[in-house]
Amino acid sequence: MPNLDPRNPTNSPSSESTSDLPATLSREDYRRLSHVRHQLRRFLRFSEDICHAEGLTSLQYQLLLHVKAMRGKDWASVSELAEKLQAKHHGVVALLDRCEKLGLIQRRINQEDRRQVEIHLLPEGEKLLERLAVLHQPELRMLENSFSLPPENSGT
């Protein structure tokens, strides 16, 4: 997890140094931050609710989603999933254990590098992921539209 301390820009997720940041923020700056946080939270709450209705946690859904979304391959490594989920390796392993017990994923040894474990979706995981991903689409479109941030001085 990155250190978000603005006094330490080398650990910040942004390449912008603290010397480039304004000394004070305007009400509009706070309003825009509030808008983004509100829209993100609305989407996450929606996602949590539909995942729960399907018997999954939000993290289990995200894990399935990240495996499916890997570019150029149909599996993910534990370290790739840890990065995508912004979680520690051992936390991802515990999450994989739970998903494996539910019959959603399978671990396989990589044939080229036997030290590496591949995480694959099983048919039940594929079906559940597809059902949930379809349910997310209308809310995702709303979120995309809401991220055209209001101009700094729009007054809305």
Residue ranges of domains in the chain: 27-146
Tens digits of residue pLDDT in 110-147: 999 999 999 999 999 999 999 999 999 999 888 888 87
Q: Domain 27-146 is in which class?
A: mainly alpha
- Neighbour-count burial for 32-62, b at 16+ CB within 10 Å, e otherwise: beeeeeebeeebeebbeebbeeeebeebbbb
For the chain, which ranges sit under pLDDT 70? 1-19, 148-156
Q: Are 63 and 95 in contact (CB under 8 A)?
A: yes
Which amino acid is it at 131?
R
Residue-level pLDDT at 10: 45
